[in-house]
Amino acid sequence: MLEVVKLKKSIISMTDLTPQNLEVIFEQTRALKARIKKHENIDTLSGQVWGLLFEKPSTRTRTSFQTAVLRLNGEAIYLPSSGMQLSRGEPVRDTARILGGYLDGIIARVYDHKTVVDLEQYAGVPVINGLSDLGHPTQIVCDLFTLLENKGTLQGLTLTFIGDGNNVCNSLLLGTAMVGMNMNVACPKGYEPDMTIVAKAQEIAAKTGAKITIMHDPIEAARGADVLYTDVWVSMGEEAEKEKRLHDFKGYQINAGLLKVAAHDAVVMHCLPAHRGLEITDDVIEGPQSIVWQQGENKLYGAVGILSFIQGVGH
């Protein structure tokens, strides 16, 4: 009997993908979204069991990936770290080796980026970064797909990110550069995105014709932009800094006034959960230019596209 060889293609950062990879994922996502909407049977993960190793609470990432595995006829096991020996001090590499022997792949949502790196190094099966303190690559794949659905193209668009230069912002910088989109980041001083990632994004942008700009004036950043994007001011694990952050981020809100300086057909995005009245106003997130709910739904279809890509489908 032939031995089944597990495909090892992990996505820890946007840099694990190429612009060509993204094209394949978008194509797969589009096709599979249509098939799922028709309730067609898809056997991409038939016979496989995937684990969702989560250190953080999650609504969209957990539900989308769990559902995506099921939609592809696989099985999904939710593994909260609080119920595992990790919570009692077992090294990540030990957990990774064991899980790798049981599972066909791991989706991980963690605090420290090194955790997902160690999982990938020792598990021996594909590992997908479902969020770390450094990046959120699967979110950005879904976001870019959503923009492609809305705008028809990505090349030459300008996305403005307003707020904290956090993990989502880091991955957006890399993703927009890869597809030839310009990106402005407007953040308070001291809250800039990771400078190593900015440098990498600029290196990629030089090849794709994109432009990366880090600034502190939200109005200037939003001027003429095709996309306004924001995220929470206080991320999980930063609760102790809440009062300082609420003070520092005043003025970095997506509201009707800011939307007026963007392009007339600009769209608004938020990776959710949203704190209405802080980083975004209720009238904007519920308004006609918001594509936040489409963006949220596409977390499922993006997850399906990513899982299919990892299996080699459509390559």
The 10s digit of each residue's pLDDT in 1-47 is 333 334 448 999 999 999 999 999 999 999 999 999 999 999 999 99
Q: What is the mean pLDDT of residues 91-99?
A: 97
Specify the pLDDT at position 313.
74
Return the C-alpha torsion angle 71, 72, 73, 77, nearest 10: -80
Task: Break the chain into its structural domains and give their ranges.
Answer: 14-135+297-310, 139-292
Instruction: Report the b/e string of 78-95 with b at 16+ CB within 10 A.
Output: ebbbeeeebeeeeebeeb
Q: Say if residue 140's pLDDT is above 90.
A: yes
- Reported confidence tier of residue 314, pLDDT bands at 50, 70, 90: low
Q: State the CATH class of domain 14-135+297-310.
A: alpha beta
- Reported confidence tier of residue 315, pLDDT bands at 50, 70, 90: low
Q: Residue 231: which of 277, 144, 165 has the closest Cα?
A: 165
Q: What is the mean pLDDT of the chain?
A: 95
The 10s digit of each residue's pLDDT in 212-250 is 999 999 999 999 999 999 999 987 777 788 999 999 999
Q: Say if residue 210's pLDDT is above 90.
A: yes
Q: What is the pTM of this model?
A: 0.94
Specify the pLDDT at position 244.
94
First to last CA, the chain: 27
Q: How many of the other CB atoms lie within 10 Å of CB of 18?
A: 11
Above pLDDT 90, what percent of the chain? Answer: 92
Rg (CA), the chain: 19
For helices 60-71 and 137-151, angle between their N-to-C axes, nearest 10 degrees: 80
Specify the pLDDT at position 1.
35
Specify the pLDDT at position 285.
98
The 10s digit of each residue's pLDDT in 274-300 is 999 999 999 999 999 999 999 999 999
Q: Which CATH number fits domain 139-292: 2.60.40.1180, 3.40.50.1370, 1.50.10.20, 3.40.50.970?
A: 3.40.50.1370
Q: What is the 3-state secondary structure (H, E, C) of 245-313?
A: HHHHCCCCCECHHHHHHCCCCCEEEECCCCCECCCECHHHHCCCCECHHHHHHHHHHHHHHHHHHHCCC
Query: Is 14-135+297-310's fold the same as 139-292's?
Result: yes
